[in-house]
Amino acid sequence: MKKSFTILLFALAGLSGKSLACSCFGVSTFCEAMALISNAPEPSDVHIYLGTVSATNSTSVTMLIEKTYLGEDRTFQTLTLERGSSSLCFLELGNFQPGKTFIIVPHQGADGVWRLGVCGVSVLEVVNGVVRGPIAPGVTKVQLAEFSTIADCGDLIGESFFPVLVNPTLTSDEVNITTKLPSPVPIHITVFDAAGRLVYQTKEPAFDIDKNIVLDTQAWASGVYFVRLDMLSRRKTVKIVKVGE
């Protein structure tokens, strides 16, 4: 598995023992959680496991780990997760029943107890060899065999998917850049002219459905330009034409 897989649950890396307040960064899918911090220092205590629930009681859930994707190798060992509560920032594990299989991102607190945090996406269910849940924008299932090699959104959602609209592409004054993503993600926008010279660049740290980015082209000379968009570990380039008024 590629190193970028290690970044998927930043919120858990900071948990130690029980907390009285949650401070979560707004991401709605597994893929976005990875992509958002792709340039951050690699967490040293992130663990990603595939496991099946073997036993439950009122305070904990025990799983048999079938595969270790990242972290301490616990393959073919049991892992006990404490049942939590949303007020303490930990999952209650109500859906964890014997025989069910999940991909989990647990955190071991300073007290030595394993828990699943409520921030980000720390659980995906596996049913009949298919991973299900909020995997990526527009993706809610993927074959388990494919999931094990995922490194970023691009491997999940295919070459044709890029949730950004650039409009209009023929303009005399401005270009609007929008997305339908519900959760904010960073985007880097770079504009080049037909000769490959840098014309403009900007970074927006929180780009989502409520954020409209406007490129003011009024001062640009008439001609062809290329708008390069970098987001969610993917890149797309859109050609626009500036015409005189």
d(CA 113, CA 79): 10
Regarding whether 113 and 36 lie in a shared domain, the answer is yes
Regarding whether 138 and 36 lie in a shared domain, the answer is yes
d(CA 126, CA 50): 9
Regarding whether 225 and 149 lie in a shared domain, the answer is no
Look at residue 177 and tell me whether its pLDDT is greater than 60.
Answer: yes
Number of domains comprising the chain: 2
To which H or E segment does residue 35 belong? helix 30-36
For 70-106, write each residue's pLDDT tens digit: 778 899 999 999 988 767 778 888 889 999 999 988 8
Regarding whether 170 and 147 lie in a shared domain, the answer is no
> In whole angstroms, how far apart are CA 134 and each of 59, 125, 140, 142, 145?
27, 10, 5, 11, 17
pTM of the model: 0.56
For 14-61, write each residue's pLDDT tens digit: 333 444 455 555 567 777 665 554 434 444 466 788 999 999 999 999
Task: Quote the mean pLDDT of the chain.
Answer: 78
For 103-122, write each residue's pLDDT tens digit: 988 888 888 899 887 777 78
pLDDT computed for residue 135 by the predictor: 80
Look at residue 7 and tell me whether its pLDDT is greater than 50.
Answer: no
| CATH number where 226 lies | 2.60.40.3080
Q: Which residues contact residue 186 at a Cβ distance below 8 angstroms, ignoring those fewer than 6 apart?
A: 36, 203, 204, 205, 206, 207, 231
At 2, which amino acid appears?
A: K
Regarding whether 188 and 92 lie in a shared domain, the answer is no
Q: If you average pLDDT over each of 87-96, 180-189, 223-232, which comes out highest?
A: 223-232
Query: pLDDT-derived band of residue 241, with 50, 70 and 90 as boundaries?
Result: very high
